[in-house]
Structure 1
């Protein structure tokens, strides 16, 4: 039976995680590396996403998959740092995640080279480092399945499209603002997580209200905070049955729809961006039939 990678929708977000990003180095070594990858990942504690360049290197095409677009608005830059392969490791122990990362890196060489690694973690019960709850408007149960998972033929059904951005926060600048100003940037009160009816149109909650798009732009967010030295922020991660919902939201946030820039850019900025296709599972293994069918 073909189904989705369970780590995509498992709740809550894991207590510890690693995002591994790989660049393609040797196409001739790719088939053997993919075989070793299939033996090491389960779709639960390790969610795998393929970038468009890797799919092309395999002589295939996944409908709807493309490279992350670099979007620029007034005072806004959303960079594209697209990679060939992304693996999201889940766990409870940072040491275990280190050893699993090393094993994956060794298994994928020399075809794929690790070029970026970001550790992430669950803060409180699923909060951003600013203190605000993350993913409040996430769909649940059947609605989450419909939002996150693709339909279609075997090999595509149960797959999902992941959008990833690493956001770096300006903690000092945000802390210097009055609490009301901080709440208006987010569009919710920090004290009780209630949405502010009188929040400005630039409030993040209003910019990204999923039901306000036509068609509605629902997706499942699985974001987690990150810290490196004195820097930190949010590894934004969202899964959708296509990339449409994420992209229309990012365009509106960037002011490309109506000229109103999301207030979030006042206290944070994205420093990476990538799109990935997460294959479904069949009998507990990644189902890559969609790639074989179009090769």
Structure 2
């Protein structure tokens, strides 16, 4: 039975580090070996710093997958759906690898990232290292509870991990989508709380859904539910705020068991009724109201294979 990477369904932590890496040319064989060692490295540190609740995820970019693992590709695995949309600036980052490290101690994250860097340094270039942190009681910098509809319990695994019946080779893997959102807090904080609530579609204190007529059809909450309160979530979200200098916002990481889950959600938020409408000139409906107060400057799609796949792929007899 395939074993998932422990960081995918882990409980929320206080700190996170995100390493975006580009592989040097011709390093695929050694990288297959070393990527399989990273979960072992993290497990060793997790045992040593048991109170820190350390976990992590190793993921491979859509445009690098075939170079690293040419023998098989996850179904429907595509680069970030870049959408020409006048209302929202998007920029895809060309990262070959993403490594996420999360724990309740920033010093433990530092140690883990340092050791991962030492392991991979001869074979990769570090594009960017992002840092996230838990804010108050799981809120983002708008003051609202982040992703209040996030799945819990066994539903986490169902939404985030590939079903072995659908893709036996990639069972327990996960489609991962990374975005960095910058918030316009100057204008956001000038709004009345009632205005903020109608944009978000939820109560600011409890995080419960507003009732009509205050619940607007293109509020952030309803757009995240594809327009219907009864719709279940499509992804498992692991978002964390970031703040540095005059830049602040949210690092959004979504895990999905199906390749089209993110496209369905993000397309709906942009105003498209269906993901197939992305190439049309105009969306069919208004976009998510919260997009007037944020923009994404980093977007990328990855696949986080199972521990079993990472171990199998680095064997000498693995299909290439």
Question: Would the TM-score normalized by the shorter structure come out above 0.5?
Answer: yes
Matched residue, 2:37: 39
Measure the CA separation in 2 of the matches of 1:205 and 1:287.
Answer: 40
Is this contact kept in 1: 2:4–2:307, CA < 8 A? yes
2:118 pairs with one of 106, 131, 141:
106
Measure the CA separation in 2 of the matches of 1:222 and 1:210.
Answer: 19
2:60 pairs with one of 47, 50, 54:
50
The yes-or-no answer on 1:149 pairing with 2:147 is no
Secondary structure at the aligned position of 2:122 is classed as coil
1:200 pairs with one of 216, 225, 233:
216
Measure the CA separation in 1 of the matches of 2:99 and 2:310.
Answer: 13
Question: After superposition, where does 1:113-132 map in structure 2 within 5 Å?
Answer: 113-132=125-144
Per-residue deviation, residues 146-185 of structure 1 (Å, max 9, x unmatched): 1111023544111111111000111111001111111111
Q: 1:143 to 1:32 in 2, by over 3 A?
A: same
Structure 2: where are the runs of 5+ without partners? 43-53, 274-283
TM-superposed CA distance for 1:71, in Å, is 1.5
Is this contact kept in 2: 1:23–1:83, CA < 8 A? yes
Matched residue, 1:256: 272
Secondary structure at the aligned position of 1:271 is classed as strand
Per-residue deviation, residues 196-228 of structure 1 (Å, max 9, x unmatched): 122222210111115849x96621111111111
The yes-or-no answer on 1:278 pairing with 2:288 is no
Question: After superposition, where does 1:128-207 map in structure 2 within 5 Å?
Answer: 128-152=140-164, 153-197=167-211, 198-207=214-223
Matched residue, 1:226: 242
Measure the CA separation in 2 of the matches of 1:290 and 1:161.
Answer: 21
Task: Give the TM-score of the pair, scaled to structure 1.
Answer: 0.90
Q: What value does the CA root-mean-square deviation take over the aligned residues?
A: 2.5
Per-residue deviation, residues 251-285 of structure 1 (Å, max 9, x unmatched): 11112333211111111111111111111123xx8
Measure the CA separation in 1 of the matches of 2:35 and 2:74.
Answer: 19
Is this contact kept in 2: 1:217–1:246, CA < 8 A? no
Measure the CA separation in 2 of the matches of 1:41 and 1:88.
Answer: 11
Is this contact kept in 2: 1:62–1:290, CA < 8 A? no
Is this contact kept in 1: 2:182–2:249, CA < 8 A? yes
The yes-or-no answer on 1:87 pairing with 2:99 is yes
Task: Give the TM-score of the pair, scaled to structure 2.
Answer: 0.83
Structure 1: where are the runs of 5+ without partners? none
Measure the CA separation in 1 of the matches of 2:192 and 2:233.
Answer: 32
TM-superposed CA distance for 1:293, in Å, is 6.5
The yes-or-no answer on 1:7 pairing with 2:12 is no
Secondary structure at the aligned position of 2:118 is classed as helix
TM-superposed CA distance for 1:288, in Å, is 4.7
Measure the CA separation in 2 of the matches of 1:98 and 1:139.
Answer: 29
Judge which range, 68-77 or 143-152, deviates more. Answer: 68-77
Matched residue, 2:16: 17
Measure the CA separation in 1 of the matches of 2:17 and 2:254.
Answer: 16
Is this contact kept in 2: 1:70–1:80, CA < 8 A? yes
Measure the CA separation in 2 of the matches of 1:95 and 1:3.
Answer: 28
